[in-house]
Amino acid sequence: MISRKVNQLEVLSCEPKRRKHETPLLFVHGAFAGAWVWDEHFLPWFAEQGFSAHALSLRGHGDSAGHENIDWHSVHDYVDDLTEVIADLGTAPVLVGHSMGGFVVQKYLERHAVPAVVLMCSVPPQGLVAAQFSMMFEKPGMMLEINKLLGGGNVALDVLREALFAQEVSDDMLRRYYRKMQPESQRAIWDMSMFSLPNLNAMARPPLLVLGAEKDVLMPAFLVQSTAKTYGVSDKIFRGMGHGVMLEKDWQHVAETVRDWLEGVLA
């Protein structure tokens, strides 16, 4: 894995020993996280499959600059970050966005075209409100804990386990992930709730794969299905998995699904 900076943005990259695909992949993380979520499994695995695989940390995340102003970063700012890293790559990549990252990818498509897009447990184009109401009624305690994390407070490891995982994960692994997690931009949350929803009429429409998880309590499967219906594509819901599909025990099932689909659309 290579870590570098594009101006002040962290970019993690894994290059294949023998490149089988000319189109690179760029992974976009969700809220409270950074490029590190992709480096755990996905970046090295996709490099082994012959892809040039990259992940950025949006401003205020990971080792990117801007942590001191995290609450003021907008979704538009995150789109600018994505634009900057893509320009540095020199080739339009396949974009893979998880959760908030999927929303940022949808906003990017208002002004740019890419060869293909994967939305993974993504915030839907209709925004966060339905997910917030679902959590309020189904998991009110978790709603309070997520708001605490949003403001930089501490939450219990069991909250992280319930929020991200449906499969077995060790306490040591949870602690390691928790140490890397961080507050999220209040402004970006508002943007995703109602103030900066994707303009569906303006968006480019590349080949699109929409993925979700059966046990996802943050972005329930019915919202993933709604996203797929909005864009006129089918959805794939992974049984027995939670929101953090790239970190779950069976993460490779997700990766293989993405690879197989890409080999079809990039052929």
Q: Residue 131's pLDDT band (boundaries 50, 70, 90)?
A: confident
pLDDT above 90 for 244: yes
> Can you give the pLDDT at residue 132?
74
pLDDT at 162: 87
CATH number at residue 23: 3.40.50.1820
Let me know: does 216 contact 223? Beta carbons within 8 Å: no
Predicted confidence band of residue 12 (pLDDT cuts 50, 70, 90): very high
Residue 153 confidence (pLDDT) above 70: no
136: confidence class by pLDDT, cuts 50, 70, 90:
low
Which H/E stretch holds residue 103?
helix 100-108
Instruction: Please tell me which residue, 60 or 140, carries the higher pLDDT value.
Output: 60
* Full domain range(s) for residue 164: 2-265
The reported pLDDT for the residue numbered 86 is: 98
134: tokens are: 């679902």
127 close to 197: Cβ distance less than 8 angstroms:
yes
Average pLDDT, the chain: 93
Q: Is pLDDT above 70 for 20?
A: yes
pLDDT digits (tens, 9 = 90+) for 64-104: 999 999 999 999 999 999 999 999 999 999 999 999 999 99
* Backbone φ/ψ region at 7: left (φ over 0), alpha (ψ -120 to 50), beta: left
Q: What is the H or E stretch that residue 2 is in?
A: strand 2-6
Query: What's the confidence (pLDDT) of residue 141?
Result: 66
Total domain count, the chain: 1
Using a pLDDT cut of 90, give the percent of the chain over it: 82
Q: Is the pLDDT of residue 206 over 80?
A: yes
Q: Quick check: helix, strand or coil at residue 213?
A: strand
Using 50, 70 and 90 to split pLDDT, how confident is the model at 134? confident
Q: What is the residue type of 214?
A: E
Q: What are the tens digits of pLDDT across the range 43-64?
A: 999 999 999 999 999 999 999 9
CA distance 235 to 228: 6
- Would you place residue 137 in the very low, low, confident or very high pLDDT band (cuts 50, 70, 90)? low
| pLDDT > 80? residue 152 | no
Indicate the pLDDT class of residue 129, thresholds 50, 70 and 90: confident
Whole-model pTM? 0.94
Residue 266, helix vs strand vs coil:
coil
CB 205 within 8 A of CB 199: no
At residue 207, the pLDDT reads 98
Q: Is the pLDDT of residue 146 over 70?
A: no
